[in-house]
Structure 1
Amino acid sequence: MREIKVQLYRGEDDNYVELWKTVEEIEGKHRYYGRYTYGNEGTWYSVCDPLGYCELNAPMADDVMFICCDENGNEVIRYSNADGNKLPKFETIIKREWNKVKEKLQYNVEDLTKNFWAECWNGDTTMKINQWLLSYKDPDLYPEKAKDYDENWTGCWAEKEIEYEPIPDTEFEYLGHKYQFTKVKHKHEYCGVEWYEFVCTDSPYVMQDTPWVKDRAWIQSYMYLGNWFDDKTYGTMYDQRTAREKVVAALIKKFPMKEKWDKLLYVKKRTGNEFYNCDCCYEKSYSDMADVLINRNYHRKDVDHLCKFINKETEDIVFASNRGNKYTIRQTYPDIYDYDNCLI
């Protein structure tokens, strides 16, 4: 059986491919092989353009034995495609080790995938830590920063790591390298609130070299595992998602939904300074109608007031979308501009 000694060159990419490099040169150069890791499959492949796109070519023959080595070239484990995967991917090992210790820790779990799609589709966040941070984004206190995108308030550029605490008895090895879980204390640059994040790091932890950023340092980490913050204390604001959900709930209470896709009719009265100097009617989802009523004012007291007095705030401008209300709107505003053809 042919044997090939390899070291991990690059971890799993977005295509679930790890890139491995031969320990020794073959015919004057190092060779590269891919390991397909979706579902912890662990199949060895030859690859095209390894240092570029790194496209999988074909599975390696069953009689090729891969000897997986640590960073010093010492054997850790060996297996071929005929054996099945004997080396779980790094992510799997981290999660397995975390499961052993997490019950002893106070922390919040965040769904990063759910948050990604919420930001893409709705422009808001589902992460509890972000919602907490945004509660301090008060335009009365930070007028310039409050005008900026929410992501610039919750992102890494608005915070500093100020303290590192290795979590005892959490050290483990992967391919001969030692790792641990570390509790990292963060401080917000503008409002000054502090919180903690739990990450997987080297053991002992090392710092990233970031010479392009002045007075800023980050720990070298391999996976974000959760956070902890004082959820008994919030700022003066709601985040966009929470404010919207509260107002939507108030709208549904006044205008009960019969179907999931039910919409509302919104009469926007003329103000004299708009393109259409006339009354307009729009058909809006409950969520969009909530955004109109909130009008980018996320102060908790104002959103709560809006919800409490939703009947008064929507009087004569918001209607359930039905035939009777359409007729009423046309009679009340005979010259209304039917923007969405929703009054037909």
Structure 2
Amino acid sequence: MREIKVQLYRGEDDNYVELWKTVEKIEGKHRYYGRYTYGNEGTWYSVCDPLGYCELNAPMADDVMFICCDENGNEAIRYSNADGNKLPKFETVIKREWNKAKEKLQHNTEDLTKNFWAECWNGDTTMKINQWLLSYKDPDLYPEKANDYDENWTGCWAEKEIGYEPIPDTEFEYLGHKYQFTKVKHKHEYCGIEWYEFVCTDSPYVMRDTPWVNDRAWIQSYMYLGNWFDDKTYGTMYDQRSAREKVVAALIKKFPMKNKWDKLLYVKKKTGNEFYNCDCCYEKSYSDMADVLINRNYHRKDVDYLCKFINKETEGIVFASNRGNKYTIRQTYPDIYDYDNCLI
């Protein structure tokens, strides 16, 4: 059987392909092979354009034995396509070890994929830590941040790592390298609140400088696993998502939904500033209507007031979208501009 000694050159990419490089040069140059890792399949492939697009070519023959080595070229594990995968991908090993360690730790688990799509589609966040941080983004206290993106308040450039605590008895190895879980203490640069994050690091952990930021260093980490903060204490604000959900709940209580596609009619009375200087009627989802009523004012006291007095705040301007209300609006505002024919 032919043997090939390889080292991990690059971890899994968006196409679920790891790139491995031969330990020794063959005919004067290193050769590269791909390992397809979707579902921890672990099949070895030859690849085209390895240092570019890195496209899988064809599965390697069953009689080719790959010897997976550590960073020093020492054998860690070996298998061929005939054996099935004997090397779980790094992400899988981290999650497996974290599942053993997390039971003894106070922590919050975040759904990063759900948060990604929430930010893409709605511009808000589902992460508990971000919602907590945004509760302190009070424009009255920090006017320079009032119109800034929420991401600039919750992102890593608005915080600083101030402490590191290796979690005992969590060390494990992968391809001959030692890793551990570390509890990292963070402090917000603007409001000064503190919290903790759990990450996978080298063992012992390694620090990295940030040359473009003065007096700033970061721990080298390989996966974010969770956080912990004082959820008994919140600031004076709601984040956008929480505020919207509260107002939507109040709207549903006043205008019950028969199905999830139900909408509301919104009469916007003329003020002289609109392009159409007249009363206008729009059909809006409950979520969009909540945003209109909130009007970017996320102060907890104001959002809570809006929810408590939703009947008063919507009187004469918000209606359930039905034939009777459409007729009433046309009678009350005979010259109203019917946006997108929502009154038909």
TM-score range, shorter chain: over 0.9
Measured after TM superposition, the shift of residue 210 of structure 1 is: 2.1
Compute the displacement of 1:195 (Å): 0.3
On the 8 A contact 2:209/2:216 being kept in 1, the answer is: no
For residues 215-252 of structure 1, give each alpha carbon's deviation from its aligned partner in whole angstroms, at most 9, with x where no partner exists.
Answer: 21111000000000000000000000000000000000
In the alignment of these two chains, the number of paired residues is 344
Shift of 1:207: 1.2
Partner of 1:286 in structure 2?
Answer: 286
Cα deviation, residue 318, structure 1: 0.2
User: Runs of 4+ in structure 1 displaced over 3 angstroms?
Assistant: none
Describe the superposition over 1:132-165 as per-residue Cα deviations: whole angstroms up to 9, x where unpaired: 0000000000011121000110000100011111
CA distance in 1, matches of 2:56, 2:204: 35
How far off is 1:209 after superposition? 3.5
Deviation at 1:176?
Answer: 0.3
| Cross-structure match for 1:110 | 110
Structure 1 distance, partners of 2:210, 2:251, is 49
RMSD between aligned residues: 0.6
Deviation at 1:213, TM superposition (A): 2.0
Distance (Å, rounded) in 2 between the aligned partners of 1:81 and 1:259: 52
2:66·2:79 contact (CA, 8 Å) conserved in 1? yes
Structure 1 range deviating more: 116-125 or 201-210:
201-210
Cα 1:32–1:209 shift into 2, 3 Å: farther
Give the corresponding residue for 1:193. 193
State the 1:340 CA deviation: 1.8
Matches of 1:237 and 1:330 in 2, distance apart?
38
In the TM superposition, residue 199 of structure 1 has moved relative to its aligned partner by 0.2
Matched, 1:58 2:58: yes
Partner of 2:180: 180
- Select between 306-315 and 204-213 the one with higher mean Cα deviation: 204-213
- Deviation at 1:46? 0.5
What is the match of residue 7 of structure 1? 7
Whole-Å separation in 1 of the counterparts to 2:213 and 2:45: 39
Q: What SS does the corresponding residue of 1:218 show, helix, strand or coil?
A: strand
Q: CA separation in 2, counterparts of 1:185 and 1:262?
A: 45
Q: Deviations over 1:177-207 (max 9, x none)?
A: 0000000000000011000000000000001
How many angstroms apart in 2 are the aligned matches of 1:88 and 1:146? 46
Equivalent residue for 2:120? 120
Partner of 2:149: 149
Query: CA offsets per residue over residues 31-65 of structure 1, 9 Å max, x none?
Result: 00000000000000001111111111110000100
- Structure 2 Cα separation of the partners of residues 174 and 114 of structure 1: 29
96-105 or 127-136, which deviates more: 96-105
- Paired residue for 2:166? 166
**Distance in 1 of aligned mates of 2:340 and 2:246:** 26
Q: Distance in 2 between matches of 1:38 and 1:212?
A: 36
Per-residue deviation, 1:214: 1.7
Deviation of 1:211 after TM superposition, in Å, equals 1.3
Where does structure 1 lack aligned partners over 5 or more consecutive residues? none
Distance 2:260 2:224 in 1: 36
Percent identity over paired residues: 95
Find the aligned partners of 1:240 and 1:273 in 2 and give their Cα distance.
Answer: 26
Match of 2:152, SS state, is helix
When the two structures are superposed, what TM-score results if normalisation uses the length of structure 1?
Answer: 0.99
Distance 1:199 1:232 in 2: 24
